[in-house]
Structure 1
Amino acid sequence: MQRDLRLDVLRGICLVMIYINHTPGTIYEHFTSRNFGFSDAAEGFVLMSGIAAGLAYGKFFAGPGPYWSGVGKMWRRVWTLYQVHIVTTVIAIGISAAFALWFGAFETMQRNALTATHKYPLQTMVGIPLLAHQLGYANILPLYAALLFAGPLLIWLAQRHPRALLAVSLLVYGLAAQFWINMPSFPNEGGWFFNPLCWQFLFIIGLLTGLHMKRGERLVPVRRGLLIAALVFMAVSAVVALNPPLGDKTIQDYFGRGMWYLREYLSLPWFAVGFDKTYLTGPRLLHVLALAYALSCWPGLRGLCASRAAAPFALMGRQALPVFGLGAVLCYVANGIKMVNPPSFLLDTAVIAGGIALMLGLAWSKEAWGRAALRG
């Protein structure tokens, strides 16, 4: 099948927005998707990772077996994800320590879960390779690795019992969120920032979508009423996120009160109306699904993603893993630079534009190396 450029372009856009969001305090963070809805680029990235997994690995589990070829490919990818995560974590610690040592920016060692590295150094050295201690800005790859590790079983079930898989996935999501079940952290208390037991539901929706796309089908058919509902929900979430004043209060005050009434008087579970990223609560989940559905129904999206203007995003989307790894490292560099310099529009522009240029350069280099290797 011809490669679907929509997935590459949208994934590239997500990578750019993740980098901008992880460099807080710039004017550019006001224009990313999280300012116009309940979800952000992380939800889109995980959903599209599930779609990509279904497209890439579904064929290995469609027949009667054996399935070792598909299992091997997926688990090799898991090992690569683990390696990239460990390398980016070590580099991020080194960058933060360098700013503290040579520029006096000791605050860099007190953010993004880095306090444990000097407060509990031995425990941290145990927790990092076990994925029990994850730094901020570099903690989405453990989630992806865990989901992809279970991928062979998930795809096998999705090929044969998709409805049962989706029902069990929803049940696991609900139980984990309702009873605060998470993967353990060490040495810090709590759990993973991206709880795999909850985020697996979004990944599996993406997985089923990818498998249907591979067959030239849609997981959810185009329906006018459903599209209108998705657009209305997106519009409401945009208004709430923008938070305009309404009398002596703001829209968010009234919306929060409405959510509280729904929980108290309709006995809805907390995660259905709450706003928590770790447990992927209802408004965040519904928003990313509404956005994905609306985009999938837009006939002009294919042509737009095939345009020359979208080519840089498609390039980064095709090389998503190395670009994400570099972006995670550059976030620490950018935050350190902003910490030791007075704020300015020019500085914000330099760190954002420079980081995106480096990410784009790495993606171009990876593809150039690949072409050179094929030539011989």
Structure 2
Amino acid sequence: MHKRLLRGVPVSSHLGATKPAPVGLVPGQRDHRLDFFRGLALVMIFINHVPGTVYEYVTNRNFGFSDAAEAFVFMSGLAAGLAYSSAFAPGNNLWLAVSRPWARARYLYFVHLSITVICLAIVACAARYFDLAELLTKNNIKALFADPLATMIGIPLLTHQLGYLNILPLYAVLLVSTPAIILLGRKFPYWVLAGSILLWVIAGQFRLNLPNFPNSGGWFFNPFSWQLLFVIGVLSGMAMKQGKQFIPAHPVAFVLALAYLIATIVVMKYPPAGEAFRAGLSAISKMGAPFYITWFDKTFLSLPRLLHALAVFYVFASIPQMRVIASSRLAVPLRIMGRQGLAVFATGTVLSIALQAVKAWLSKEGITDTVLIDGLMLGSGIFALWLLAYVLTRTVDMRRTQSQTKTP
């Protein structure tokens, strides 16, 4: 999601330019857009994870086929490509290079287990002390009481995941594969992309997925399907690290991507257009097209969702003003949250489960949802997430300053 600079001068000009901006990055320069959009995606995820508020109707999932999850996975890949690819340069210690993303995956695993236990404790507290036993039947918690021994085995194996706590296991698995993606991507980037597309097709065609023990089915975020967005992100990040671009910039591609985004808004907001679109997909399905081409399935990252996500990334990466917006003072809170993405996501997940319990209690007490109540809950949660990110960022900056001061 970054445009290339040539001799320090942006290639593109204004929004109406006929040629979209490339997406490279000057070596050593930090592009604020990654932090900005990651922070924005985290806010969207937090709002969507508290269902039933009036504010969920203004998040990005209401204006297109994809949502913040696709952005999160793509930008996670982008960050991985930027952070880890240089360590795999010839002459560097290969094991040390491999150990970095694997250490991050291990850290994600323990973070996931920690927030799972905390969220279970929140739900248990709500059921015990506030008479909200109905929460024990939601978010895939019911299995814990139907088959507790098997479920307790499944949780550390990542085969049993609570609702709204599905994305960190996916991220951890994808990070384990990151060294292979980078090693092959250094020499054969487009072959890696072709292999990733093939795996996406195979996963959809044969419904290939990781097991969901003790329940039936597979992971909500199927790693064999969602790896495609992550791989594109890694390859893009690797190219950006070298001041290049992986996805070619072309005015025709920009116009097509923008047209697709506009069309999806029309389909989502204008019922006759939506009915016509679904009828067209149904006709294609009856002709023998597989479900991952014609449905809006999230588990297998169906084609309409995938194309919409890619169009969003391409269009926003091609608009020069995005760099100005992302670098502005008004964008600082989102940039700080994006910079501390894991801490914000994990804390936001816990807060969202707590707010689900609060909403259930309010409903039981006959307090109807209002713009004010929902705004206070979500606003307080977002402020808490920003405050956490600010403290963590300031702490890192102070440590860096102290270290530089002590250096002779």
Displacement of 1:330 in angstroms is 0.6
1:347 is aligned to: 373
1:164 aligns with 2:186: no
Aligned to 2:293: 272
Residues of 1 paired with 2:159 and 2:55: CA distance?
32
Q: Which residue of 2 aligns with 1:327?
A: 348
**Pick from 75, 81, 103: which aligns with 1:48?**
75
Distance 2:370 2:319 in 1: 39
Equivalent position of 2:332 in the other structure: 311
Unpaired runs of 5+ in structure 2? 1-27, 404-408
Task: For residue 65 of structure 1, report the CA deviation from its aligned partner.
Answer: 4.5
1:93, CA displacement in angstroms?
Answer: 0.5
The whole-number CA distance in structure 1 between the counterparts of 2:88 and 2:304 is 33
The correspondence of residues 27-46 of structure 1 with structure 2, limited to 5 A, is: 27-46=54-73
Quote the Cα distance in structure 2 between the aligned partners of 1:319 and 1:237.
32
Amino acid at match of 1:270: F
Supply the distance in 2 between the matched residues of 1:79 and 1:326 (Cα, whole angstroms): 18
Take 1:46 and 1:208, find their aligned partners in 2: how far apart are those partners?
13
The question of whether the paired residues in 1 share the 8 Å contact of 2:296 and 2:304 is answered with: yes
- Give the letter for the 1:45 counterpart: F
Under a length normalisation based on structure 1, what TM-score does the superposition of the two structures give?
A: 0.96
Greater shift, 336-345 or 1-10, is seen at: 336-345
Contact 1:38-1:237 within 8 A present in 2 as well: yes
> 2:176 & 2:104 partners in 1: Cα distance?
9
| Identical amino acids, percent of aligned pairs | 44
CA displacement 1:256-280 (0-9 Å, x = unmatched)? 1100112333x43221121100000
1:368 Cα deviation (Å)?
2.3
**Equivalent residue for 2:111?**
84
Asked whether 1:147 is paired with 2:183, we answer no
For residues 94-109 of structure 1, the aligned pairs below 5 Å read 94-109=121-136
**SS state of the match for residue 381, structure 2?**
helix
Using the alignment, how far apart are the partners of 1:245 and 1:351 within structure 2? Answer: 32
How far is the alpha carbon of 1:317 from its aligned partner? 0.3
Q: For residues 44 and 133 of structure 2, what CA distance do their matches in structure 1 show?
A: 27
Q: 1:360 matched to which residue of 2?
A: 386
1:231-270 equivalences under 5 Å are 231-242=258-269, 244-246=270-272, 251-265=273-287, 267-270=288-291
- Per-residue CA deviation, residues 205-258 of structure 1 (Å, 9 max, x unaligned), is 11111111111112122211111100110011111222x243xxxx32221110
- Equivalent in the alignment of 2:395: 369
Q: Would the aligned equivalents of 2:54 and 2:370 in 1 still touch at CA under 8 Å?
A: no
Kept in 2: contact 1:54–1:207 (CA 8 A) = yes
Unaligned 5+ segments in structure 1 are none
CA–CA separation in structure 2 for the residues paired with 1:204 and 1:245: 35
Letter of the 1:332 counterpart: I
CA deviations 1:274-322 (Å, max 9, x no partner) are 1100000000000010010001110111011000110000000000000
1:191 maps to what in 2? 218
Q: Aligned-pair distance for 1:64?
A: 4.7
Q: Is the 1:338–1:347 Cα contact (8 Å) retained in structure 2?
A: no
Alignment equivalent of 2:251, drawn from 210, 224, 230: 224
AA in 2 matched with 1:227: F
If the length of structure 2 is used for normalisation, what is the TM-score? 0.89
State the partner residue of 2:41: 14
